[in-house]
Amino acid sequence: MANLGFVGLGVMGGQMVNRLLSKGHTVTGYNRTRSKAQWLIDKGMKWADSPRAVAAAADVTFAMVTNSAAITSVTEGPDGLLAGLSKGKVFVDISTVSPSVSRALASKVREKGADMVDSPVSGSVITLQEGKLSVMVGGRRETFDRVKPLLLDIGPKVTYVGDNGLALAMKIAVNLSLAVQMMAFSEGVLLAEKSGIARETAVDVLTHSAVASPMIQYRGPFVLQQPEEAWFDVNMMQKDMLLALELGRQLDVPLPTTAVSNEFLTAARGMGMAKLDFAVMFDVLARMSGISK
């Protein structure tokens, strides 16, 4: 059983801590809004008043925050996570951020005598709760070997992909396809619907057809009814699409379907749907097709 820390107790981060607690680990946690973490405190998680205090208390500290600016916010400064690191400690960043930002942070972590891996995940709240999450890891191999058993307590598939930043590149490559698949699925549903097929029937057929990836199977029904709380909202998805487009430009890889799908996310934001699950791309295309929900 390990002595762990966790910074960022949102929907996914909180569920990860819940799994780590269920495996018998000691977890010290911090979240900007303490009330959102109360359910974990009630389950035995220790509370810390700053990211620094979390890192100081733990041997291995995880973080899961929204973007590059957020990871800088929780790591820098007198109360930042970096200030709590010391020789022999490990920082595991699960956030999806820019690979270059992550590599720069890893250098700062090593200056403290600690080490860092980037370890983004693929999956939703449902796949996490079902124990089916996929984890990618970038960093030194010996550090990966040290944290792999802990990551296996979060998800059953843990893959070492190479040096620092490469797990993030892999995660970005995965996530661009989510929006692209949602776009194609929406086109199929709307084409069927305007042909005279009930939307519910079209969704049922497509989610049981050859195009039904795991993502389409669990998110496809969102075109019929949005979840009460977004699993992955428009703003979050667009953040990852912009990371993909930036990486594509850096590497001279054209990403035409990513670019088009990204514009539908922009349209969703313009229509006031930024906080809805990104499956709302369907509603944007539906309006363009002359169909109201």
Helical spans, DSSP H, in the chain? 11-22, 38-42, 51-57, 68-75, 81-84, 99-111, 125-129, 141-152, 166-194, 199-206, 214-219, 234-251, 256-270, 281-288
Instruction: Say if pTM beats, i.e. exceeds, 0.85.
Output: yes
Q: Which amino acid is at 174?
A: V
> Which listed residue (89, 171, 194, 293) is catalytic?
171
The CA-atom distances, in angstroms, between 59 and each of 142, 196, 244 are 16, 60, 33
Q: Which amino acid is at 259?
A: A
Mean pLDDT, rounded, for 97-113 = 96
pLDDT band at 88 (very low <50, low <70, confident <90, very high): very high
Confidence (pLDDT) at 124: 75
203 has pLDDT over 70 = yes
pLDDT band at 73 (very low <50, low <70, confident <90, very high): very high
pLDDT band at 64 (very low <50, low <70, confident <90, very high): very high
Domain residue spans of the chain: 3-164, 170-288
Mean pLDDT, rounded, for 251-257 = 98
> Which CATH number among 2.40.340.10, 3.90.800.10, 3.30.360.10, 3.40.50.720 corresponds to the domain 3-164?
3.40.50.720
Confidence (pLDDT) at 293: 65
Q: Percentage of the chain with pLDDT > 90?
A: 89
Q: Give the Cα separation of 261 and 170 in Å (integer).
A: 19
Long-range CB contacts (within 8 A, 24+) of 195-204: 199/223, 199/224, 200/224
| Bridge partners (DSSP) listed for residue 117 | 92
- To which H or E segment does residue 134 belong? strand 134-138
CB-based contacts of 27: which residues, under 8 Å, 6+ apart? 4, 5, 6, 17, 20, 21, 40, 44, 45, 46
What class, spelled out in words, does domain 170-288 have in CATH?
mainly alpha
Is 148 labeled as catalytic in the residue annotation? Answer: no
Q: Percentage of the chain with pLDDT > 70?
A: 100
Q: pLDDT digits over 130-163, tens only?
A: 777 899 999 999 999 999 999 999 989 999 999 9
Average per-residue pLDDT for the chain: 95
